[in-house]
Amino acid sequence: MNILRWMVVSALVPFALTACGSPPEPTRFDGTDTIVEQSASAAPPAGRAFDQARRVMGGAHISPDGRFEARVDADGRVEITSTAGGQFDWFDSGSGWGGMDFSPDGRFLAVGVFDSVILYDFTTKNPTAMHSQHLVKVRFSADSSYLVTEEFIEDRNGKFVLFDVRTGRRLTSPQPPYIEVQSDPGRIWWADELAVFDGGKHVVAAGDDGFLLWSTRGKTFEWVPCGCLPTSAAVDREARHVAFVIPEGEVSLWDVASRREISRWRLPKLDPTEGPSYAGADVMFTEDGKWLLTHFLEDGQVWSVSGGTQVGSWEGTNK
């Protein structure tokens, strides 16, 4: 979305919220497959937090305060630009491979590459390499104290690596249990998104078919299958909820603490010309974990996590 279009959308937000009326009271669920029917909304996403989450969902890497954006070019050069205009800084990562995440406190940018995680400090403008191998899917804890990553291994499930940001100390998980994707037999499971919580004591890895819990102190794993054959998953940064997109057009919301489904709601019906399912849809929580964004082809929706209600939508790119 370009700047002019965003200014127009922002100006329409108060009117859109008025049109939606007061949100309904949160529905209580007992863990059964309760389906919440939704009517499509013409309202745009309600505010900057939604726009930022949409851009991150589309592949952008943006600081929590929206001041900086980072990208890796084909030569492995990480360029950091200021949204106020102009280049802020750059450093050579040596590779174009790997994930990227800003720390919630805005101090660090983490970039996962083949042999390390590069931790860039905005206060000193210095990058520091914390060595490991084939790291992808990097993510900070909500308090910015820890960083969790996943190793990329072609023929088996990769291990997880937890870094203490302050000391640089590294903890590598045992070999995770073998998990085969039920909807795609023969393919090895990997995480769509990670979250580290409870002072670095636990890690959640959400992906196809369910989520994996790693107890870093006990060095044990627990596999929680969702039984709904999803094709995409997300976990909020504080690891309270995991959301799955089911190809038949549903979102399944799980409570991490109780390991059970607490809500399920329907996505808008697809145009028959666009395909039979939501396979490959994008899904992402906003930074505060209160809202969930879904996007497929040219249609996006914003959902209230507490009530499973649609509060906004948009058409076009999620970038």
DSSP secondary structure string for all residues of 66-110: SSEEEEE-TTSEEEEEETTSSEEEEEE-S-S-S-EEE-TTSSEEE
Predicted TM-score (pTM) of the model is: 0.81
181 exposure class (CB count in 10 Å sphere: 0-12, 13-18, 19+): middle
Which of 29-33, 99-103, 195-199, 272-276 shows the lowest mean pLDDT across its residues?
29-33
**Per-residue confidence (pLDDT) for residue 311, from 0 to 100:** 87
pLDDT at 42 over 60: no
Check residue 113 and report its DSSP letter.
-
Position 2 confidence tier, pLDDT thresholds 50, 70, 90: very low
Position 121 confidence tier, pLDDT thresholds 50, 70, 90: very high
Position 113 confidence tier, pLDDT thresholds 50, 70, 90: confident
pLDDT at 284 over 80: yes
pLDDT at 22 over 80: no
Of 212, 208, 237, residue with least CA distance to 223 = 212
Instruction: Take residue 106 and report the two structure tokens written for it.
Output: 């805005």
Q: For the CA atoms of the chain, what is the radius of gyration?
A: 19
Ranges assigned E (strand) in 83-169: 87-92, 100-102, 108-112, 116-121, 126-131, 135-140, 146-151, 160-164
Strand order in the sheet with 210-215: 191-197, 202-207, 210-215, 220-225
**Per-residue confidence (pLDDT) for residue 45, from 0 to 100:** 53
* Site of tokens 């059964």: 32
pLDDT at 256 over 90: yes
Q: In whole angstroms, what separates CA 85 from the centre of its chain?
A: 27
Of 59, 90, 60, residue with least CA distance to 75 = 90
Taken as a whole, the chain contains a residue count of 319
Position 38 confidence tier, pLDDT thresholds 50, 70, 90: very low
